Structure 1
Amino acid sequence: MKKWKTIGLIAAMIGALTMANTPVSAKDLSLETKWDKTFDKSAKVDHKKVTFKNRYGIILAADMYQPKNATGKLAAIAVSGPFGAVKEQSSGLYAQAMAERGFVTLAFDPSYTGESSGEPRNVASPDINTEDFSAAVDFLGLLPNVDRNRIGVIGICGFSGMALTAATSDSRIKALATISMYDMSRSMSRGYKDSYTMEQRQKVIDYLSQQRWADAESGENALGYHEVPFDDKGNIVKGQRVLPESLPENPNPVLVAFFNYYRTSRGFHPRGINSTTAWTATTPMSFFSFPMYANIEMISPRPILLIAGENAHSRYYSEDVYKAASDPKELLIMPNADHVDLYDQMDKIPFDKITEFFGTHLK
């Protein structure tokens, strides 16, 4: 009797583990059916929701845009970013605008965010999020109306670094444009303009290491990663969401720019991390150990277009990538634009230039 009870207990445990590890299927994803973007729907394109898997088995949710009444095999572009945004925000705007200009486009939610699958939620991974771009290329290249030899990528803000990294090891990406480029590995591990001292870098590592004990003890991944982790007294900032409920007195102009996009009707979206919540507190750990685009010379002879605002606090990232990259490459500085202007300000985003770039290099 004991033998059969033991066998039954083991079988139950195996069954529970199997259920716990059963992957989420595409049909189980909860995808919004109504138009819920932060921009108006274009009458010039067809739109539909799609899903696809990356090589880690995570199911990604995406919006696909196609020019109406297009015929033949078309060039395609995968789009993602900014860091902490969803496809209903800036990336969707870019995808729709480029579809109006004749491309099949795909704006996707990165793993663990938005409508994409992946547990726990609100996690960023330089490796997995780089893979997300290649998975988007997989999907586009299997479409019957896409020429798989004419696929490009647009990375916005923090996902520009992941897009560049993807292109270093995926030669199917034939052309790459970055918008308001941000290197999240460099930002998290070295601070703004590499300003962290060794003592500060160690302080961040110590905090993240201790946070892992707290997460292990609670069984949950605490939220609270903050891009600027030190307060005015040099102490670690803990447990805050990305953006505050309201602006403080005399706020930093960069904070104001982000707030005016993510926390107002201009760009707010309830699924966006930057609009409503925070990344997991330990998110920076893998970024410390994963330098972006370390093999950037491997992108050549495929072209890179780097677009940054003249007044963007992040401009130096694009300029440094331009110096490091091999030809062909181009750096375009947009006058009178800051970092966030290039998220959605149609009079400042150089769509004609972007169209020319991809039209030339995705022939």
Structure 2
Amino acid sequence: MAADYQQNPFTLAYDGAITKNEPGMVNINPVTYKLNGLDIVANVYTPANFDPNQKYPAIVVAHPNGGVKEQVAGLYAQHLAEQGYIAIAADAAYQGGSGGMPRSVDKPVNRIEDIHGMADYISSYPGVDAARLGLLGICGGGGYSLSVAKTDKRFKSLATISMFNSGRVRRNGFEDSQLDTIQQRLKQASDARAQEAAGGEILYAGDANLTDEQIAALPFELYREGFQYYWRTHAHPNSTFRYTMSSLLDLMRWDATDQIELIDMPLLMIAGSDADTLYMTEDAFAKATGTTDKKLFKIDGASHIETYWVPEYVGAAMGELIPFFERTLTVAGK
């Protein structure tokens, strides 16, 4: 199932996306706001029959590594708006359509600040009840959302889908397969930063334009399906796997589960039962001892990337998200 951004006036790259704003329907509102001096671009989804004089719960949606607001983050934001929520999905600083140079810097401190910034913006949006603010993080956005929820108590509840612990993977390798090269890769990142500081060429990791045969030969299902999703079926020109090599200095010393016991809000973690990333969700869930209101839901048969777009699996995720947010964001101030 392809979702061609070129066929959508909002360049949305997911099936069933809004193609025009109509009275009485879910609408999409492109916005731009400042965060630490940078222009951040976002889409705000408002529910059907939206009345800015009423008060609605709102949900911040954090996109995956390499993703943009027009892909899976937008899909879930639209589905949440269909359930009566105001939802915001924004491109990370230095990525997508947002500002920041050099391009494709991917540092945890920036991604975490992006989520705080979405909360800042949406809390004063017309119709939003800032006392009923939820957080949904997908893939890498899920890992960063865990970090945000440790300290930002404006959020009343947190859900993750296919959570990806970017620090652990950049440090240890996928499935902890590169433990013996950590120091070598840190040296490579250090040299890249030194080269940047001296005015030299900016080096990038994760940048590739693979053939179908090369994609099929990748060792992990996540990367095989990821390349198909981001480079083929749901491609968007602002979306890339690329990140500056020097970003690894920050990524490799960070971990989504550090101080995770500070999360004391309701927590829902969703992942595919067949996902090769499931170990990251299970690890974080076990370590999240600061909340007794928590649930781990495995979507039977789903891989990591399939939770982004397969209707059956998206429906299963929404089947958990709807009652979770209804319960945790219903009463103002709770």
Same fold at TM > 0.5: yes
Which residue in 2 is equivalent to 1:235? none
Aligned pairs for 1:3-42 within 5 A: 34-39=9-14, 40-42=16-18
Q: 1:203 to 1:89 in 2, by over 3 A?
A: same
Matched, 1:157 2:139: yes
Paired with 2:287 and 2:10, the residues of 1 have a C-alpha distance of 41
Structure 1, residues 99-145: CA drift from partner, whole Å, max 9, x if none? 01110000110110111111111111101210111111111111230
The one-letter code sitting in structure 2 at the alignment partner of 1:201 is: I
Distance 1:261 1:191 in 2: 21
Decide whether the 8 Å contact of 1:242 with 1:273 is kept in 2: no
1:314 correspondence with 2:289 = no
**TM-score (structure 1 length as normaliser):** 0.81
Query: Are the aligned partners of 1:247 and 1:256 in contact in 2 as well (CA < 8 Å)?
Result: no
1:246 aligns with 2:212: yes
Partner of 1:216: 197
TM-score (norm 2): 0.88
Maintained 8 Å contact 1:87/1:108: yes
* Alpha-carbon RMSD: 1.8
Larger Rg: 1
1:46 Cα deviation from its structure 2 partner:
1.0
Displacement over 4 Å in runs of 4+: none
Residues 222 and 280 of structure 1 are in contact (CA less than 8 Å); yes or no, is this contact kept in structure 2?
yes
Matched, 1:357 2:320: no
Partner of 1:123, secondary structure, is coil
Query: Alpha-carbon deviations, 1:305-327, whole Å to 9, x = none?
Result: 10000110100111011101132
CA contact (8 A) 2:17 2:75 kept: no
Mapped pair 1:344 → 2:325: no
Structure 2 distance, partners of 1:242, 1:146, is 41
Alpha-carbon deviation of 1:243?
Answer: 5.3
Q: Secondary structure at the match of 1:283?
A: helix
2:38 corresponds to which of 58, 70, 81:
58
- Partner of 2:70: helix, strand, or coil? coil
Aligned residue in 2 for 1:303? 266
Give the unaligned 5+ runs of structure 1. 1-32, 227-240
Partner residue, 1:263: 231
How far apart are 1:298 and its partner, in Å?
A: 1.6
Q: Which amino acid in 1 is paired with 2:258?
A: A
Residues 1-363 of structure 1 correspond to what in structure 2 (within 5 A)? 34-39=9-14, 40-42=16-18, 44-54=25-35, 56-71=36-51, 72-197=54-179, 199-223=180-204, 225-226=205-206, 241-242=207-208, 244-248=210-214, 250-252=217-219, 253-264=221-232, 266-274=233-241, 278-300=242-264, 302-326=265-289, 327-349=292-314, 350-363=317-330
Cα separation, 2, equivalents of 1:267 and 1:154: 21
Could you tell me how far 1:60 is from its partner in structure 2? 1.2
Percent identical pairs in the alignment equals 32
User: Are 2:40 and 2:90, in contact at CA under 8 Å, matched by a contact in 1?
Assistant: yes
